[in-house]
Structure 1
Amino acid sequence: MDHLKLAQNIVDRVGGRENIQSLTHCATRLRFVLNDNRKADADTLENTAGILKVVESGGQFQVVVGNDVSEVYKHIVAEGEFDGAGSGASSEKEKKSIRSAIFGLISGSLTPLIPVFAGAGLVKALLIVLERAGWIAVDSGTYAILAAAGNSIFYFLPILLGITIAKVLNVNSYVAAAIGAALMEPNFTALTAAGTTTHFLGIPVSLMNYASSVFPMFIAVSIYAVLEKFLKKIMHKNVQLFAVPFFSLVIMVPLTAMLIGPFGQYVGQWIGDIVNFLINSNSVIAGIILGGTWSFLVLLGLHWATVPIIMGNLSAGGDLIAPLAATSVAASMGIGLGVFLKTKDKDLKALSGSSFLSAILSGVTEPILYGIILRYRKTLIYLVAAGAIAGGLMGYLGVKLIVFNFFLNVFTLPAQSPMLYYIIGVLTAIAGGALCVVLFGYESKKNDQVAEGLKVQKDKSHQVASENGSGNKNERQNEREGNQQLISGSGTGKMEQNAAGIDANVAMESLITSPLEGTVIPLHDVEDVVFSSESMGKGVAIIPSKGQLVSPVDGVVSVTMKSAHAIAVTSDEGVEILMHIGIDTVRLKGKYFTQKVQQGNRIRKGEVLIEFDMDQIRNEGFKLTTPIVVTNSDQFRDITPLLSEGTVAVTEELLSVRS
């Protein structure tokens, strides 16, 4: 492949260098941010030799090149970095980007705080239990210290949000935190005790309590991000260290106190009032809608947009949204329980049982959503029905969240009031989901037909293997043993006559073992069209349960990444295997990944290639679904998953590759 020529073609087809705002790359694709996506010729690019696919996602124009991506990238940037020169994006493009950016900003800013929200929420729930049981006095020092532990994250939320929002926007997080801290500074908060207004340079300022506020910081830090970039452009680098923070604080703190803060508070209040009005108008209908659709919002990542509203409701005395939404979560738990009770498949029973137990204890239902519900899509009907019915009941019972907690589990029950009514609603959803699966099954007719087809195919394969004298061992063992007989010359009759031909076919079979411990899912279920469409090659995907990736073969490390989120190896038989840990994890820029080998290293099957921190990656909002694909699939006659679903252990046989 002529990398230079391909690089030149790509630049021309994306609209030229003047249309390129920025460029990065991951293990397989070039990630362009273009000034105007309409200037790019996606169709021609997809038909260009060396390009596997073109994807527009998350504001990026992605050109999938494959293993040669780093070489192509080098040629594109050989003339220097891109600084965003070129025409501005069209209004249509801006509208799409704004909507995507808003949800991305909310999700990226709140996700890192969710663990501490959950921990602090449990502390507050514990205090409620201890107080109601009479084991602790509200005026005791013990209560005050534990209350401080539970309240701190919520009271000083503007400061912590300043840090996380700034990280998403790639600006100085400490200056952003200082803007939030100014709203909590004692001299400023003391002004509220003297009245509702004050003055700054003769301009009236409305005084508000910004403890636990959310929207003001989103607006303030977004404006600060623009200001910081402007200041860096106009200031000499020698003075930026102190001058940029100085002018940022002098401008942003008064601006936030005078305009942004009050406006943000009002916006949050207005949105909350509208949502709460709809719920209060008919809580039963609202419960049916939220209970039936919440899990879909979770799948799309749109549920984060409700967190600021929930926080605002809590500061006003209680929230109605979270209990209604909890019924959808409980319905998915019920489906996991129902599959556990219904299935006879040992792997699926293990997956559903462990996922249900995990969900009950932690409130995390992603293993059920991705491992069961999206795989057996008939259960989506049960999810909607059970969640909607229980949601309507929860709305009728009038349950409120009184202590923030975004997770439904056995430990957060005291955070709801009345707790007994909440338990009734949750149990209704769990029972509904489980009963639907037990009574009506979880596989669609299409699933059944595919399963039956696979069974027939397997039986036929077994019959052929048996006819070749391999007894009652499995097909792969028969083929290998038959091959050994041919090589040693011990075969007889027809096998001897065809020894050379059969030996050539069977000798090229390669077995790819699992590089991860976890749950196998079909490649077409991966939430990345580049992999699910098999553009990169055939294979499977694994949702890991342990943060360690090992070599699936004996061979050589052929491709490594600076971000360490992906790696490719080439087996001794010439099979090229790409392992991409997580979806879009290139954006982490190597955080939480530790690469143990270098490109060109000789590796053995089972040798550790990459270690990664699963909890931290999830906390950053990324999914860990890991595609394992044969990138030179077109060079082989057949690539067959030996395990297309269920749990898998490290080095367990995963793929069969035959020429």
Structure 2
Amino acid sequence: MKYEQLARDIIQQVGGKENVNSVVHCITRLRFKLKDESKANTEAIKNMDGVVTVMKSGGQYQVVIGNHVPDVYKAVVEVGGFQNQSPVDEEDGPKGSLFSRFIDIISSIFTPVLGVLAATGMIKGFNALFVAVGWLDATSGTYQLLNAIGDSLFYFFPIFLGYTAIKKFGGSPFIGMAIGAALVYPTLSTLTAGDPLYTVFAGTMFESPIHITFLGVPVILMTYSTSVIPIIIAAFFAAKLEKFLKTVIPDVIKMFIVPLLTLLIIVPLTFILIGPIATWAGMLLGSATVAVYNLSPLIAGIFLGGLWQVFVIFGLHWGLVPVAINNLTSLGADPVLALVFAASFAQIGAVLAVFLRIKNQKIKTLSIPAFISGIFGVTEPAIYGVTLPLKKPFIMSCIGGAVGGGIMGIMGTQVYIIGGLGVFGYPSNISPEGITTGFYGSLIGTAAAFVVGFVLTYLFGGVNKAVATTPQSDITPVAEEVSATKVGQEQILSPLAGNVVNLKDISDVAFSSGSLGQGVAIEPTEGKLVAPVSGTVSALFPTHHAIGITTETGAEVLIHIGMDTVQLEGKHFKAHVTQGEFVEKGQLLIEFDLDAIKRSGRALTTPVIVTNRKVISPNKASHVQTGEPIFIINE
């Protein structure tokens, strides 16, 4: 570990890990909450190689590191054994909007398994294709083995998510895996054979046979393979319980007593309460959709088609399956699953637009297998890996699904068998009487969903959206020596309109000393921050008060809006880009509320620095407009 010794030295000089209540990091510094700041040896820390300076503000002991703070933070967490406190404690860390926090949780849980998720989805899709075209027989050993590979992650999904979810919530990964494994334990599925002991909730939609009890409490056995929500909720409570138990269990027996009690409490609780409630929520959703369809097929189509991908995220889509089976048995046809058929096509339309527009190579690479698996109806890689993290493309795909679902509702599309997914779902829409209007509705609806998802994402999805606040041709050079760049130099434009301040004159020592980099500071007069250069967003802190951009020549530009504004925890800031996104000069990055930040007592002085290059010819003007040159740097 590259920064292990530095991490050890820092922990020792802040008074040892027993003096640390919590540690988080922002874009340049470690932020400790110490039990007793007097125990910290500030001068010793300042003199360490790799430390810029030390500051104390807002009840935090701040060790300024610079660009490598994420790596140093990781080392501090590992060396200090702070993993179980959660790298960014939800109680002390940035809050942001509820939707942003939700996206962060979902992305953090699913991102680690995206590669395998995409791979297994492609195998399932190709296996279905090989059978459909007659290359493989469904009874052959080749098909069975490929099917096992494709189903491996999906069937045991709770185990994988148990690991990633509990890790996100600050618990021990192997406890999460154990909870997930219990949910898919094969022996439990055999216990439902034979007559039940008794039935609970008889005569209601929640009627459930009871085959086993736990300490006299009835256990409702359900199928949790491929499920998502039960294990995530269980992991959340497990992490909280584990954290509590570690505070009350003696160290000498903590290693085995904490996981013992956590599993003994959480696993039964999941089977008795968490799992059934999540499943019943899906059943209620299914009943509600049938009621909506009876009221208006158009409204039902828009509702189901538009929200289907949201249902998939929460695992509530499984509630529609028993409704569809019941309709097929009693009516010979089902409209519910038919109306959601277009959603996957809207999703892959959005993914294709992302692939064509985005310049982030990681997302572009992931888009290819996500698109392929989505063609065959496996959209989880597309949702969790591409559209949902980017937010707007996911919304556009939902709109496309709503359009397709509405068309299919109007044209009376129904399914007559439980058939394939994606492109293999079309035969399910063929009536026993032959081709009907409903079948044509499935063709038109899916085509419309794909086109709408693609077009809306391409035009309005916010993927590398380059809207120059000040056109390059309209920029008026403020200082001749700044605007006239030579070969091997790069011009930096002002990201803000405001008064120019010498970097040495600002209050934050980390910036004024020049230790973090060279540049200028600006007192903004309007609350819009645009890109001063073209490049990739290499850092965007969750509170959106600071952003880093790496140019194509490797220069690292850091912009920090205001002083100590991290304490606002994201309030009054709104980001319009995401980390990893390629941005153009003049593109809107962040909006912020000038007046609200001033009322909070924070200074708005905004350093604009280059952390890994020398700055020459700074702007001599006292005021700049957005897009005017402020300095140039050597490549």
What is the rounded CA distance, in whole Å, between the counterparts of 1:209 and 1:181 in structure 2? 12
User: Structure 1 pair 145/276, CA: closer, same or farther in 2 (3 Å)?
Assistant: farther
Structure 2 residue identity aligned to 1:246: L
Aligned residue type for 2:242: E
Unaligned residue ranges in structure 2 (runs of 5+):
1-19, 35-52, 197-208, 326-335, 375-381, 430-438, 497-522, 540-546, 560-577, 586-606, 622-626
Give the whole-Å Cα distance in 2 for the aligned partners of 1:95 and 1:241: 32
Is 1:325–2:343 an aligned residue pair?
yes
Deviation digits for residues 42-100 of structure 1, max 9, x if unmatched? xxxxxxxx9xxx9xxxxxx9x99995997xx99xx9xx99999xxxx99xx99998776
- Quote the residue 2:147 is aligned against: 147
Partner of 1:267: 281
Is 1:308 the counterpart of 2:315 in the alignment? Answer: yes
In structure 1, C-alpha distance between the alignment counterparts of 2:150 and 2:161, rounded to whole Å? 17
After superposition, where does 1:121-520 map in structure 2 within 5 Å? 121-194=121-194, 195=196, 196-197=209-210, 198-274=212-288, 278=292, 281-288=295-302, 303=310, 306-313=313-320, 319=337, 323-326=341-344, 328-329=346-347, 332=350, 389-396=403-410, 398=413, 413-414=423-424, 418=428, 424-429=444-449, 454-455=472-473, 457=474, 511-512=489-490
- The count of aligned residue pairs is 442
**In the alignment, is residue 538 of structure 1 matched against residue 532 of structure 2?**
yes
Name the counterpart of 1:578.
557
Contact 2:158 2:231 in 1 (8 A): yes
Given that 2:111 and 2:385 are in contact with CA atoms closer than 8 Å, whether structure 1 keeps it comes out as no
Cα offsets for 1:2-28 (capped at 9, x unmatched): xxxxxxxxxxxxxxxxxx974422334
1:232 Cα deviation after fit: 0.7
Structure 2 match to 1:57: none
Aligned CA distance change for structure 1 residues 368 and 155 (closer, same or farther; 3 Å):
closer
Q: Alpha-carbon deviation of 1:578?
A: 2.9
Say whether residues 1:24 and 2:42 are aligned partners: no
Instruction: Give 3-state SS (helix, strand or coil) of 1:512's partner.
Output: strand
Matches within 5 A, 1:619-630: 623-625=579-581, 630=608
Q: Which residue of 2 is the match for residue 611 of structure 1?
A: none
Aligned-CA RMSD value: 6.6
Identity over aligned pairs, percent: 27
Q: Distance in 2 between matches of 1:636 and 1:423?
A: 61
Q: Deviations over 1:339-378 (max 9, x none)?
A: 99xxxxxx99xxxx999999865766999999x999xxxx
Query: 1:287 offset after TM fit, Å?
Result: 4.4
Pair 1:636 & 2:618 matched: yes
Q: Is the 8 A contact 2:351 2:370 kept in 1?
A: yes
Amino acid at match of 2:536: I
Distance in 2 between the 1:102 and 1:354 partners? 25
Looking at structure 2, the residues matched to 390 and 402 of structure 1 have their Cα atoms a distance apart, in angstroms, of 20
1:386-416 Cα shifts (integer Å, max 9, x gaps): 77644422444647797898xxxxxx53366
User: 1:170 deviation in Å?
Assistant: 1.7
Per-residue CA deviations over 1:444-495 (Å, capped at 9, x if unaligned) read xxx99989x655x59x99xxxxxxxxxxxxxxxxxxxxxxxxxxxxxxxxxx
**What is the distance in 2 between the residues matched to 1:24 and 1:449?**
35
Aligned to 2:510: none
Amino acid at match of 1:310: H
Query: C-alpha distance in 2, partners of 1:385/1:99?
Result: 18
Instruction: Output the CA distance in 2 between the equivalents of 1:257 and 1:213.
Output: 13
Structure number having the greater helix percentage: 1
Distance change >3 Å, CA 313–CA 335, structure 1 → 2: same
Q: Secondary structure at the match of 1:636?
A: coil
Equivalent residues of 1:215, 1:308 under 8 A apart: yes
- Judged with a 3 Å threshold, the aligned counterparts in structure 2 of structure 1 residues 125 and 284 are, in CA distance, closer, same or farther, namely farther
Give the whole-Å Cα distance in 2 for the aligned partners of 1:568 and 1:332.
27
Structure 1 stretches of 5 or more lacking a match?
1-19, 35-49, 55-60, 298-302, 341-346, 406-411, 462-500, 515-520, 525-529, 550-564, 581-621, 645-654
Instruction: State the alpha-carbon separation in 1 of the partners of residues 549 and 248 from structure 2.
Output: 41
Could you tell me how far apart the structure 1 residues matched to 2:342 and 2:243 are? 42
Which residue does 1:109 correspond to in 2?
109
Cα deviations across residues 619-642 of structure 1 (Å, max 9, x unaligned)?
xxx841267995179982299xxx
Contact 1:331–1:387, Cα closer than 8 Å, also in 2: no
Taking structure 1 as reference, are residues 231 and 385 closer, same or farther at Cα in structure 2, changes over 3 Å only?
Answer: closer
Q: CA deviation at 1:165?
A: 1.2
Secondary structure at the aligned position of 2:534 is classed as: strand
CA contact (8 A) 1:23 1:32 kept: yes
List aligned pairs for 1:57-96, cutoff 5 A: none
Q: Distance in 1 between matches of 2:119 and 2:274?
A: 30
- For the 8 Å contact 1:314–1:403, the answer to whether it is kept is no
Shift of 1:276: 6.4
SS at match of 1:539: coil
CA distance in structure 2 between the partners assigned to 1:164 and 1:441 by the alignment: 32
